[in-house]
Amino acid sequence: MRAQIALYVGLGLLALVAPFLGLYPVFLMKLLCFAMFACAFNLLLGFTKMLSFGHAAYFGASAYITGWLVTVQGWGTLEAILGGVAVSMLLGAVIGAIAVRRQGIYFAMITLALAQVVYFVCLQAQFTGGENGLQGIARGSLLGLLSLGDDRAMYYFVLAVFVAVFLFIRRIVHSPFGQVLKAIRANEPRAVSLGYKVDRYKLTAFVLSASLAGLAGSLKALVLGFATLSDVSQGNSGEVILMTLLGGSGTFLGPFVGANVVITLQEYLSDLAGSWVSVIIGAIFVVCVMVFRRGVVGEIQRRFGQRSD
């Protein structure tokens, strides 16, 4: 426990000074956004064993809504973020309500199919800009006080949100609700026989995960200044699964580590290897699944005998 706190503090300090270490702030922000996305996804896969194949729907929809609210409606930054999150929450509630009634592969297929519907809507609708996406989304300012146009200011804002989300997920897992989720994950029929209406708990977890994925998406839209079809595409849903499994699903730091690995590789290899990037990442994933199934953090925790909750 003490080692864990020390690790968190160390990582936190590193994150605070990172922009002064010559690292490109926009790249760091992109890292944090995808790490947040993976953490949100992990809440579902890692702590409730629900494998969603369509999490890009919430990430992307929220990115579009935030972008549209800022560029077309002229909303302020915070309001636009909240608007995006609200829409992904709603989307999560609708898709979740249908999906949680099924288990395993059927659950995965329903989330995949409905995410494809969302993708199609984003492709066809007027407000999303179709193939071009939404460009030139301004970051605006925080309540008119702090301009986020500066990369460093924006970085600390994103960092603060990420830390809040990270701690929030920890709290969810270590809450009375989290206890019930653990029980459902371990033995669903038994949880039912104790009188728990498990579908409602799963739906709540699903909506929480979708909302946080949406938050990550809307921040990403503000950071990079655009929302495109790739945000809402199947490829993005696959990537977040990969990040989570690579880092270690069911661990708190795993998705963060996985997102760092994947995004860093994409960023640096794209110059060197071009389109071979996806082949390399795919190969890493295969090795990961075959050699260390628990993911990077999962394996480390096992070696050092820590409980993986």
Partner 1 sequence: MALAEEVILETQGLVKEFSGFVAVDGVSVRVRQREIHALIGPNGAGKTTFFNLLTKFLQPTSGAIFYRGRNITREQPADIARHGIVRSFQICAVFPHLTVLENVRVALQRKLGTSFYFWRSERSLGNLDRRAMQLLEEVHLEPWARTQAADLPYGRKRALELATTLALEPDVMLLDEPTQGMGHEDVSHVTRLIKQVSANRTVLMVEHNMSVVASIADTISVLQRGRVIAAGPYSEVSKNPQVIEAYMGTSSDSLSGGPDGP
Binding site for partner 1 (CB under 8 A): 171-172, 174-180, 182-183, 186-187, 189-198, 200-201, 204, 208, 309
Instruction: Please state, in angstroms and as integers, the Cα–Cα distance from residue 188 to each residue in 42, 105, 307, following that order.
Output: 19, 16, 22
DSSP state of 225: S
Nearer Cβ to partner 1 (116/185):
185
Report CA dihedral (217, 220, 224, 227) to the nearest 10 degrees. 0
Among 232, 259, 233, CA closest to 245? 259
CB of 214 to partner 1, least distance (A): 17
Nearer Cβ to partner 1 (152/174):
174
CB of 65 to partner 1, least distance (A): 24
CB of 234 to partner 1, least distance (A): 29
CB of 163 to partner 1, least distance (A): 17
Q: How many CB atoms lie within 10 A of CB 279?
A: 10
Contact between 248 and 294 under an 8 Å Cβ cutoff? The reply is: yes
CB of 261 to partner 1, least distance (A): 27
Q: How many CB atoms lie within 10 A of CB 264?
A: 12
Task: Give 117's Cβ-side CA count (13 Å radius).
Answer: 9
Nearer Cβ to partner 1 (28/213):
213
Nearer Cβ to partner 1 (32/198):
198
Among 113, 114, 98, 115, CA closest to 202? 98
End-to-end CA distance of the chain: 12
Nearer Cβ to partner 1 (147/179):
179
Q: Which amino acid is present at 120? A: F
Nearer Cβ to partner 1 (177/292):
177
